[in-house]
Amino acid sequence: MKCIIPLAGPDIYTEKFGLKPSFEINGVPLLIKAIHSRDWYGKSLFEEDLIFIIRDFEFIDDLQKLINDNFPNGKQVVIPELTCGALMSSIAGVSLIKDFNETIVIDLVDILFESQFDPEKTFEINRSCVGLIPFFLSSNSQYSYLLINEKSNVIKAKEKRIISENASAGVYFYRNIGSFLNATIYSINNYNNISYNELLYLCPSFNGLVNDGRIVKAVEVKKVNPVSNYFKVV
């Protein structure tokens, strides 16, 4: 499994909080705490499987130092400017994956949670499943939302629109590169209907897989701490 971590958005740094991945939660930088808290880290995902997408900006040296000090064996891809959203930034990381059948997880590392599911085993058991999305219960409009059926299959995904009480936990699993690219192509082809604030996000990309008749599973997680709340400017 390979993990792509997009850290190239316009809000990576704020005057009030500084570099967001360095923001400390109980004395630990958010980036480190989020990665280490994932149940699959150290089991099916290791340091050398991490791919950080960063942007060339004023505080890039500080961000790279944080990554190098804590994940020296991870890979970094530096993009020169803002892209059209996290989905498009993630393409840069996908380009480094050489095993086309390898599971891809894209982690926005801004929501902490507890889980006890093995993503690779879940894919192995559910051979027809091409995507997994951890979720938690919420009614806050800052999240993406999933409409799911009684089998925990995703029927629809919306960015920043409350279509259910099932909020995405900001972590997205694609069975392989093919699944990711199919979802990305769908998003590009349906840009006018699927973009939010003219950006392409990860959660709605799964509509492409669902509309193609593929199975995307929603997996509930517990003890959720949406640390992105700390960065809301009041």
Tell me the pLDDT tens digit for each residue of 122-160. 999 999 999 999 999 999 999 999 999 999 999 999 999
Instruction: Name the pLDDT band for 234 (thresholds 50, 70, 90).
Output: very low
We report the CATH number of the domain holding residue 10 as 3.90.550.10
Query: Quick one: average pLDDT of 46-60?
Result: 97
Using the predicted structure, report yes or no on whether residue 231 has a pLDDT greater than 70: no
Residue 66 corresponds to which amino acid?
A: L
Q: Which domain holds residue 182?
A: 2-231
Strand 145-148 to strand 24-25: parallel, antiparallel, or no bridges (unpaired)? unpaired
Work out the average pLDDT over 202-223. Answer: 97
Which pair of structure tokens corresponds to residue 197? 């604030």
pLDDT of residue 117: 86
- Please give the tally of structural domains in the chain: 1
Region of 216 on the Ramachandran plot (φ > 0 left; ψ -120 to 50 alpha; else beta): beta
